[in-house]
C-alpha cells in the first residue's frame, strides 16, 4: 500500500492507475473492434450494391435482347409492316 492507501501492483503502478490504463486499453481495443466491424459492414454494403447493379444490368440486357428478338420475330412474320402496297 502507498501512503494514499492505494495498492501497488507488481510493475509499480498504483491500482487505480493500472485500472485506468486497463480500461483505456479496453476502450481502444473495443474501438478498433468497432471500426473493424463497421468496415466489414461497409464492405458488405458495397458488395450488395455491386451485386444489385450487376443484377440490374443483366435484367436490362435480358429485356433488350427479348425486345430485339420480338422485333426480329415480327419482321419475319410481316417482312415490312411500314410499307403500304
Q: Are 53 and 46 in contact (CB under 8 A)?
A: no
- Specify whether the CB–CB gap between 39 and 31 falls below 8 A: no
Question: Each residue's pLDDT tens digit in the chain (85 positions)?
Answer: 555 566 666 666 666 666 666 666 666 666 677 777 788 889 999 999 999 999 999 999 999 999 888 888 887 777 665 655 5
**3-state DSSP assignment of residue 48:** helix
pLDDT of res. 41: 87
b vs e for 46-73, b when ≥16 Cβ sit within 10 Å of the residue's Cβ? eeeeeeeeeeeeeeeeeeeeeeeeeeee
Amino acid at each position: 500500500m502507498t501512503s494514499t492507501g492505494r495498492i501497488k501492483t507488481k510493475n509499480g503502478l498504483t491500482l487505480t492507475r493500472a485500472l485506468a490504463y486497463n480500461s483505456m486499453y479496453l476502450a481502444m481495443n473495443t474501438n478498433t473492434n468497432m471500426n473493424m466491424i463497421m468496415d466489414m459492414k461497409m464492405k458488405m454494403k458495397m458488395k450488395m450494391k455491386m451485386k444489385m447493379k450487376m443484377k440490374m444490368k443483366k435484367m436490362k440486357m435480358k429485356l433488350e435482347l427479348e425486345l430485339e428478338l420480338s422485333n426480329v420475330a415480327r419482321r419475319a412474320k410481316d417482312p415490312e409492316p411500314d410499307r403500304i402496297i
